[in-house]
Amino acid sequence: MRNIDINLYSAGGVEDYYIKVPCRGTVKSMTILANATMVATGTIKALRSTTAVNTATAPTGDTAAGTELVGVPDTTYKDLVFDPDSDTVANQKIKISFDTTILGGAANVLVQIEYDDSAYVEMAASEA
């Protein structure tokens, strides 16, 4: 298991960031912390290409600055494999996507990803 911790500066609004994966694996979990309020029903997603593998949604009543927002693995796609050696460029990185409502303005956002590099997966590298 590896921890991937990324501090992102967000100007607020829709934004996409890309994190190159260190090795073949899956996103086990995702936790978000921000130095600003995360607005109710706003989302931050971890995706492989355009497919969400984990989604953090701010609850009704907003999430105060400094409060952990824990993502929920997608029931269908949580085990999609990321692979730095994949022939498909989109599978070589984790896409972090902020929707338009998650932040009310500029903020520093810490994305903590627990990355499972030891998961048993029945899939050839060319299929990842």
Q: Is residue 86 part of a domain?
A: yes
- Provide the pLDDT for residue 2: 94
**95, 46 contact by CB (below 8 A):** yes
CATH code for position 8: 2.60.120.380
DSSP state of 127: G
pLDDT of residue 12: 87
Task: Identify the pLDDT of residue 25.
Answer: 96
**Residues lower than pLDDT 50 in the chain:** none
Structural domain of residue 9, as residue ranges?
Answer: 2-118
pLDDT at 104: 84
Phi, psi (rounded to 5 degrees) for 114 = -95, 115
pLDDT at residue 125 in the model: 67
127 in a structural domain: no
